[in-house]
Amino acid sequence: MDEIEILLERNSLALERIAQIAAAPGIGDPYAAFFQSEACFIMKAHKEPAAGEASLQELADRDRELYQDLAEENYGSSFGNPA
């Protein structure tokens, strides 16, 4: 196996585990919600369209979806809020 194949296999295994965490984090409160939220974010972010395949509007919509928890109306309950 060459280095690229090894990296692709490791990436695949990591994404498989992240998908499992998104479905069922496997730990209790208070950490379960955080890990599930982060795993879902990673899965969404990984589904990036190929260069040149998405319109500017589609990319803007994707950004809004990815970062909606940081919007003013959601920031108070966001894991991104350091308070």
17 pLDDT more than 70: yes
Residue 82 located in a structural domain: no
Contact 69, 79 (CB under 8 A): yes
**Which two tokens mark 61?**
């919509």
Q: What is the pLDDT of residue 51?
A: 66
Residue 36 located in a structural domain: yes
**Which two tokens mark 46?**
């990984």
Q: What is the mean pLDDT of residues 2-17?
A: 94
User: How do residues 24-73 score in pLDDT, each as one tens digit?
Assistant: 877 887 788 889 999 999 998 888 777 678 888 988 888 898 899 888 99
Q: What is the mean pLDDT of residues 14-26?
A: 89
Residue 21 located in a structural domain: yes
SS3 content of the chain, % helix, strand, coil (to 5): 65, 0, 35
13 pLDDT more than 70: yes
Q: What is the pLDDT of residue 75?
A: 92
Number of domains in the chain: 1
